A and B are shown apart, each in its own frame.
Chain A
């Protein structure tokens, strides 16, 4: 009697294992800062990715298998990012990873994916080096892709806006991190190409509470526009110092000026700042409308904490799923080859992706896609509403 029971139990469990393996999920890594100063971006990105994964799973999954996201909080720390990369690759055996908000974490972690031949889709990190770290011809194949607007694109947009508005004496205020200083260098270069030289270049540390000296130096140098490259809390301190000095000066900067931590803590002082945005929370296309509504109902918020991160996170998952479908395999090199030659058009939130990548170009976002946004009433809106009207609403990467 006991024997037959055991046999029955064994048979049942064998059946269950069989059923599970037919439906075994495809594991995708998701690494980003969900706590700390970059958390608003990380959490929005994660929620965007999750939204896309849910929709894909509802529609039958990828290769008939559901997507399973393995989420890890890298706290914007390089060493933690490395640890997570190793865990996702070796223990969780993910087929690909999406994420990275911080350029430093991306640069430190993606080396392990490159070695393991597992694709990484950077959906927020903007450092120009990110996709070039393993570029050819030194490397046979590059496993690092990106669908965010890199710093070269952003600094060129800022410099163009400065030139177009007729400002001649820009001042740059940047933080002392990799992000701030690499961005500052890109910005100085972009200004130089347009015949502009900053009249002041100032620096501060993360955690500094008083930016009076930086703002006053810029003011004293006669600057007619302040350009920033930093993250939320310190950006708020910077505009607070500018306002404290009673200095009426336009402020422009990298896309981080759209961070909720900046908008909320700068309050009225942050109104009117301008920054490049790949996505603004406005239903300018049917896809965007559907995305915004889905995000709002799923996460019960009205204002997406970081709309850019959420949209890019959503799109990164769509791109990856399309590539796995096309590769008909979860094999890293095959997914990479499929990404480099995507045959289907993918309707994303930021843009419609028509052959977004090639073997030599791993950047899905080109200079024509982002628009300038500005802060008004605690939200980001287009600086020039005409940018997102009619044909301008959907901006696609030009065919090479």
Chain B
């Protein structure tokens, strides 16, 4: 039982990371029916900007925890800016011309450019991100947890709840929801839908950047850290359903927990298999995802 709980906890923390990145996919898909395929690179850049900021602040003789907290808003601001750039360069033009695939190519290309940029600035070597919290595990009910794993879960939940609250409570959030429901109608009601879409991209990169700084202290930072995570999160978004914010979080947890459980109870070499099988099953029987609303394409 103790082992089961231990594995469950590590599955949840990995799953939350997947969930936050996938949440970013969901944000832009809701408003514009497009995705940023460079989401993994947005995560990389966020983590690396965080790394440099924390390093700079530590140079001013701040403790790692204080440096980390002060670095967060800078990372968020960077994420917002980076997302806006992606939308502006990669997506806007394709949407104007109603191109079906233009934005796919453009966001992939931008992802590659961002990765090369990261390699040139930070090098190709993995870097150790100073952990803001103690690296000694806590024992809760017989289960050992690293403080950073708890921070991942809390940080991810806080971010997603903040976005939900913003959408439900504020007038600007209502504009986002309106755009998501019917872009043309929202436009006719006087909502600046292009701005809403830019905003959703900015928020999407912010969530990736947050995932980056959350995961960096328990792994290593580097130009290649986002590739595998971005892909996993894409699978999560498909499993959970791209139209549901709640769905992608549950999807992330499902994937993270199945991976850990398979690794432990079956064989560590086959850890990734059940997630991929689940992906295929969902695509064949419920293509909109477990929690997604099937979209009716009017012709």
Contacts and interface: CB of A to CB of B under 8 A. Distances in A.
B10 A210 contact: yes
A304 to B, nearest CB: 16
A213 B126 contact: no
A212 B126 CA distance: 21
By size class, the interface of chain B is 35 or more
B139 A265 contact: no
B6 A245 contact: yes
A75 B125 CA distance: 11
A176 B267 CA distance: 13
A172 to B, nearest CB: 11
B123 A35 contact: yes
B281 to A, nearest CB: 23
Given A36-B125, A244-B144, A265-B220, A213 B269 contact: no
Given A213-B263, A233-B220, A267-B135, A203 B269 contact: yes
A220 interface: yes
A212 B215 contact: no
B124 A210 contact: no
Contact of B3 (A35, A216, A267): A216
B124 to A, nearest CB: 4
A286 interface: no
A264 B6 contact: no
A210 B13 contact: yes
Contacts of A213: 7, 10, 260, 263-264, 268, 271
Contacts of B13: 210
B52 interface: no
B146 interface: yes
A37 B126 CA distance: 7
Contact of A212 (B7, B225, B272): B7
Interface in B101-154: 119, 123-126, 128, 135, 137, 139, 144-146
B228 interface: yes
A240 B267 CA distance: 20
B128 A264 contact: yes
Nearest to B17: A209
Contacts of A36: 124-125
Interface string B216-233: 001110001101100000
B219 A246 contact: no
A246 B140 CA distance: 12
A316 interface: no
A217 B128 contact: no
B208 interface: no
B263 A214 contact: yes
Contacts of B10: 210, 212-213
A233 B126 contact: yes
Contacts of A205: 271-272
A207 interface: yes
A212 B128 contact: no
A387 interface: no
Interface string A28-51: 000000011101100000000000
A42 B51 CA distance: 25
B146 A210 contact: no
B21 interface: no
A246 B137 contact: yes
A261 interface: yes
B260 A39 contact: no
Say whether chain A's binding surface is mostly helix, strand, loop, or mixed: helix
Interface in A238-267: 240, 243-246, 261, 264-265, 267
A203 B225 CA distance: 20
Interface in B260-283: 260, 263-264, 267-269, 271-272
A246 to B, nearest CB: 5
B14 interface: yes
Q: Which of B14, B124, B220 has the most CB of A within 10 A?
A: B220
A271 interface: no
A35 B215 contact: no
A75 B119 CA distance: 13
B9 to A, nearest CB: 8
By size class, the interface of chain A is 35 or more
A399 B218 CA distance: 49
A177 B260 CA distance: 20
Interface in B1-36: 3, 6-7, 10, 13-14, 17
B219 A237 contact: yes
Contact of A216 (B6, B124, B271): B6
A346 B159 CA distance: 64
B260 A217 contact: no
A204 interface: yes
Given A209-B218, A216-B6, A217-B268, A35 B125 contact: yes
Contacts of B219: 209, 233, 237
Contacts of B272: 205
Contacts of B119: 35
Q: Which of A40, A217, A244 has the most CB of B within 10 A?
A: A244
Interface in A163-187: 176
Contacts of A40: 125
Contact of A209 (B137, B215, B224): B215
Interface in A192-225: 202-205, 207, 209-210, 212-214, 216-217, 220
A265 B128 contact: yes
B7 A216 contact: yes
B97 to A, nearest CB: 37
Contact of B268 (A204, A244, A268): A204
A156 to B, nearest CB: 25
Contacts of B268: 202-204, 213-214, 217
Nearest to B145: A244
Contact of A220 (B3, B124, B263): B3
A204 B271 CA distance: 8
Contacts of A237: 219
A217 B126 CA distance: 27
A333 B176 CA distance: 73
| Leading 10 A-B pairs by shortest Cβ distance | A213-B263, A35-B124, A212-B10, A203-B269, A209-B219, A213-B264, A202-B268, A265-B128, A207-B228, A244-B137
Given A213-B271, A214-B268, A264-B128, 4 more contacts: A210-B10, A210-B13, A213-B7, A214-B263
8 contacts: A36-B124, A203-B267, A204-B271, A212-B6, A213-B260, A213-B263, A240-B135, A261-B220
